[in-house]
Structure 1
């Protein structure tokens, strides 16, 4: 039975927060709407796109203006972020994923991005082949912090929760992991700070991706089957 590491994408593998702010700004401008506050945009990172856009516009996620905005965001995303994807990887990510795979650890992604956007970003960054499964917010009914994305990864790959660790930079990732019965690693170099991450009670905390690799290399082989304690 393999061990599994599940990663968030934005703020964990790829340093996209600044680019996300740029993309929202470009989207709002193209729609003729006042530019959003950068801090407000950063506060939505980790939420599904409809929820983020709706919150920034003060509209419900199902509103037609939100739907229109999401479509425009995806266009801007392709123009602004994908060409820079390989430059946006956090230090140590490419080599670290190679190391984990060489240790026989199965890798997956659970993200609040739509699947198509996540898949395109991973391909553009040269990372897609590392991952056995990529689950996006549009593939579940209840996105993070609900356990459904994590549970879908576990079910698809046939790995029990007790042999899996979630790695993420927001409390949404950590709470999803806890609810799904997985252990978790909080990374401090992304969106949420150390104090906020601590409120979600991660199993471990890492300051760099190299630290993540060391923690996973030590923890996963020693895990017994069954739900996390």
Structure 2
């Protein structure tokens, strides 16, 4: 996301009851590994590999949908491509680093007693593995992601599942906030009545920030928006 994004202010009296985080582009810098696996997938499928800008557009949204709508694959081809991608990506999953300052931020939120959930379009099993590898899973009240069979894959469905699990644990979700980097995060959260703060260090474009309530240009700024 480019540095010319505007910062939208939030009323200082706002107190958040829970924080939902996206994973790719928000917590971990996974674009390189994802794009490499996408290139491998297209090659294996006998399709010309798109340029870097197009490959990057695949990072974030549910991949099965992107394979159908962006790549133009049939349903059968999309599933074949998805399995090829997953087999390759699984070998490189843990190479993606956490963005600077994010681990400390999550630690601070946890110490402040603010419930934290993950809401990612990445398969939940992979998301759990990534958080555990970086010793971050212990800070999360719940980890919600896409199901392996893709019956739960849209951001709206994943956010709904994260909120449901939080409520099951007696956590107030009336003033929850989503932290993400793409317009898909904004739309998926909004479908559940949850506002979104976008992070500048992710993979979104300025236009994707138009419906967000704020753009955080640093982890220190994001901490201030969440904790005051």
Specify if TM > 0.5. Answer: yes
Unaligned regions of 5+ residues in structure 1, if any?
A: 219-229
Q: Once the 2 structures are TM-superposed, how far is the Cα of residue 187 of structure 1 from its aligned partner?
A: 0.9
On the 8 A contact 2:199/2:217 being kept in 1, the answer is yes
Match of 2:161 among 152, 168, 171: 152
TM-score by length of 2: 0.83
Q: What RMSD over aligned residues (CA atoms) do the two structures have, in Å? A: 2.0
Write the distance in 2 (CA, Å) between the matches of 1:196 and 1:176.
13
Write the distance in 2 (CA, Å) between the matches of 1:18 and 1:122.
18
Q: Once the 2 structures are TM-superposed, how far is the Cα of residue 96 of structure 1 from its aligned partner?
A: 1.0
1:48-96 CA distance string (max 9 Å, x none): 1211233443124xx22211211121111122232x13xx211101111
On the 8 A contact 2:178/2:185 being kept in 1, the answer is yes
1:115-156 CA distance string (max 9 Å, x none): 112122222232222212111122754612x3x322221221
Q: Tell which deviates more after alignment, 71-80 or 28-37.
A: 28-37
Higher relative contact order (CA 8 A, sep 6+): 2
Q: Once the 2 structures are TM-superposed, how far is the Cα of residue 18 of structure 1 from its aligned partner?
A: 2.3
Write the distance in 2 (CA, Å) between the matches of 1:140 and 1:7.
21
Count of matched residue pairs: 208
Match of 1:169 among 146, 158, 181: 181
- Which residue in 1 is equivalent to 2:213? 203
SS at match of 1:205: strand
Q: Once the 2 structures are TM-superposed, how far is the Cα of residue 168 of structure 1 from its aligned partner?
A: 0.5
Work out whether 1:3 is the aligned partner of 2:13: no
Work out whether 1:213 is the aligned partner of 2:226: no
On the 8 A contact 2:121/2:153 being kept in 1, the answer is no
Higher share in helix: 1
On the 8 A contact 2:183/2:208 being kept in 1, the answer is yes
CA spacing shift, 1:93–1:120, aligned 2, 3 Å: same
SS at match of 2:223: helix
On the 8 A contact 2:119/2:144 being kept in 1, the answer is yes
Work out whether 1:93 is the aligned partner of 2:102: yes
Work out whether 1:72 is the aligned partner of 2:81: no
TM-score by length of 1: 0.82
- Which residue in 2 is equivalent to 1:119? 128
- Which residue in 1 is equivalent to 2:138? 129
Write the distance in 1 (CA, Å) between the matches of 2:113 and 2:173.
17
1:35-58 CA distance string (max 9 Å, x none): 232211211222112112334431
Unaligned regions of 5+ residues in structure 2, if any?
A: 1-15
On the 8 A contact 1:29/1:35 being kept in 2, the answer is yes
- Which residue in 2 is equivalent to 1:193? 205
Work out whether 1:143 is the aligned partner of 2:154: yes
